[in-house]
Amino acid sequence: MSGTSAMSDEVVFRGSRVSMALRKVQLANGKEIQREVVLHPGAVIILPVLPDGRVVLINNVRHTVNEALLELPAGTLEKGEDPANCARRELEEETGYRAAAIAPLGWFYTSPGILTEKMFAFVATGLTPGPQALEENETISVRPTPISDAVAMIHSNQIVDGKTIAVILKYVSMMDKSRR
């Protein structure tokens, strides 16, 4: 069900990862409005699960908020890249772990009020450790954590990254359903 139809985008900024557009939209009532839209190529987020059930969180310095955040590994899709391949690549780059299996956990829009980013979630299992391959601008340390502790950190605001919160809670919910 659609209440609007996109009419045109005027790209006003092109960056290395995102672009900014002014989007003219015609509403169902015929009125035209303009929206500011961040155009994003899409991304992945990975929930790495170790054989003992712990999940691999990362402590990631986020320059945009000037904080180190506890997160799940994630990354931006390259043009035409398969999300599962991106998930494998990002998992290895950020954590050093290689996965024997990558299973889809669904997808979601991260902030549909302003951003086109569609994020694909995966669960990685059969992990074997290896070296990280961080980009020059990344400061990431690996932090294996019991899933119950990760949920407690969500509730105590120690984990404040929205995509990480969504994926951990979705995973826990699915695990609870499978046990019933």
Q: Give the residue from 26, 24, 163 showing the smallest Cα distance to 107.
A: 163
Q: Which residues of 3-24 are buried (b: 16+ CB within 10 A; e: fewer)?
A: eeeeeebeeeeeeeeebbbebe
The answer for residues whose C-beta is within 8 angstroms of residue 103's C-beta and 6 or more apart is 122, 123, 124, 125
Catalytic residues: 136
Give the list of residues 6+ apart from residue 114 with CB closer than 8 angstroms, or none. 36, 37, 38
